[in-house]
Structure 1
Amino acid sequence: MPHCIVEYSQNLEQEVPPVELLEAVKAGCIASTLFTLEDIKLRSVPYKSFLTAGQEDAFVHVILRLLSGRTLEQRKQLSELVLASLGEFALKDVSLSVEVCEMERDTYSKKVVLSQKEE
């Protein structure tokens, strides 16, 4: 945990490769000291079509999905650290936002399926 989903306008790929956006989010998560590197799951979703106030304004929106149990202050600090990490890019005319969403522990299910090694 967490699941980090980086949504961004595809026109930003000319300025910042998506993997660099993921690395920035990862850096913010690590800086929070809430997670180890092995805990962090990252993925990105480019948007080809997007409008903000009727215009194609560039954006990066990060959704951090966490299991419940962290304090409001911890979640706020995490959001601010990830936003600060994204702010280190020399981007102009872009909207950066971070949203922390809690997942209920009681309703979260997970199964990891591994291939079996032949001996």
Structure 2
Amino acid sequence: MPHIILDYSANLETVMDMHGLCVALKDAAAATGVFPPAGIRVRAHAANHFVVADGDPKHSFIDITIRLAAGRSDAQKTQATDAVFDAARAFTADHMATHPFMLSLDLREIDADHSRKISSIRDHLPPDMH
């Protein structure tokens, strides 16, 4: 049940396909085998108010957080973070090559004792996604 959350500078809205990036990250996460495809959730939020480095409005960023339930080994967490980050790097490479841009990723484990969830998503997915 990973959540992949992107916070990004709003100045990327007109120059980057954020939906396409969400799909690329979902696909990368699913391909690792670390995350159940039916549980992957990717969302992106534009920061309308931001300051990067010296404040030049041309600067931009994407900060990715992966939240996931405990229980994966360090090797699995490394595999997953590398796969998602590599997909983000590849997707944003052209922009980074020509613009001042920061990309970061952090993984956070969810405390199972203090997490609540319910879902009917699996009831509406093909059997191979369960």
Which one of the candidate residues 68, 87, 95 is aligned to 1:91? 95
Letter in 1 for 2:22: L
Q: Please name the residue that 1:69 is paired with.
A: 71
Query: 1:79 — aligned with what?
Result: 81
CA–CA separation in structure 1 for the residues paired with 2:14 and 2:120? 36
Give unpaired runs (5+ residues) of structure 2. Answer: 122-130
CA separation of 1:36 and 1:69: change in aligned 2, threshold 3 A: closer
% identity of equivalent residues: 28
Q: Deviations over 1:16-69 (max 9, x none)?
A: 122112112112211221123211011111011211223242111111100011
Letter in 1 for 2:88: L
Q: Which runs of 5+ in 1 are unaligned?
A: 115-119
Give 3-state SS (helix, strand or coil) of 2:35's partner. Answer: coil
Aligned mates of 1:36, 1:97 — CA distance in 2 = 24
Q: Which runs of 4+ in 1 moved over 3 A?
A: none
Residue type of the partner of 2:64?
V
The 3-state SS of whatever aligns with 2:95 is coil
In the alignment, what sits opposite 1:5? 5
Give the aligned length. Answer: 114
In 2: Cα distance, 1:113 partner to 1:84 partner:
31
Does residue 106 (structure 1) correspond to residue 113 (structure 2)? The answer is yes
Distance 1:31 1:94 in 2: 27
Rounded Cα–Cα distance in structure 2 between residues aligned with 1:52 and 1:91: 16
Question: Using the alignment, how far apart are the partners of 1:30 and 1:110 within structure 2?
Answer: 20
Which residue of 2 is the match for residue 54 of structure 1?
Answer: 54
Distance in structure 1 (CA, Å) of the matches to 2:37 and 2:71: 19
- Give 1:9 deviation, angstroms: 0.9
SS at the partner of 2:53? coil
Normalised to the residue count of structure 1, the TM-score between the two structures is: 0.85
